[in-house]
């Protein structure tokens, strides 16, 4: 047997076949969703960091005013 580039079309448990165009589209969708969720998490972290930094700056300023 010679190794070919194609994967064998093994049947899945849900009755479909692995190497079909539908499964590729589903994979693409999940990748896009993962990217979007990752971006949203990063933006949330960024905003939280900005808020924390602002509160620290405010605390420092108020401390200086007391002195």
Task: Work out the average pLDDT over 22-37.
Answer: 66
pLDDT of res. 20: 52
55 pLDDT more than 70: yes
The Cα–Cα gap between 49 and 13 comes to 46
Question: Region 30-54: what's the mean pLDDT?
Answer: 81
**Residue 62 confidence class, pLDDT cut points 50, 70, 90:** confident
The pLDDT assigned to 26 comes to 64
* Higher local confidence (pLDDT), 49 or 65: 49
Q: How far apart are the first and last CA of the chain?
A: 84
């Amino acid at each position: 047997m010679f190794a070919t580039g194609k994967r064998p079309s093994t049947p899945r448990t849900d009755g479909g076949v692995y190497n079909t165009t539908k499964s590729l589209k589903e994979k693409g969708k999940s990748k896009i969703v993962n990217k979007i969720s990752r971006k949203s998490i990063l933006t949330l972290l960024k905003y939280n960091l900005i808020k924390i930094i602002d509160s620290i700056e405010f605390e420092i300023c108020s401390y200086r005013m007391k002195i």
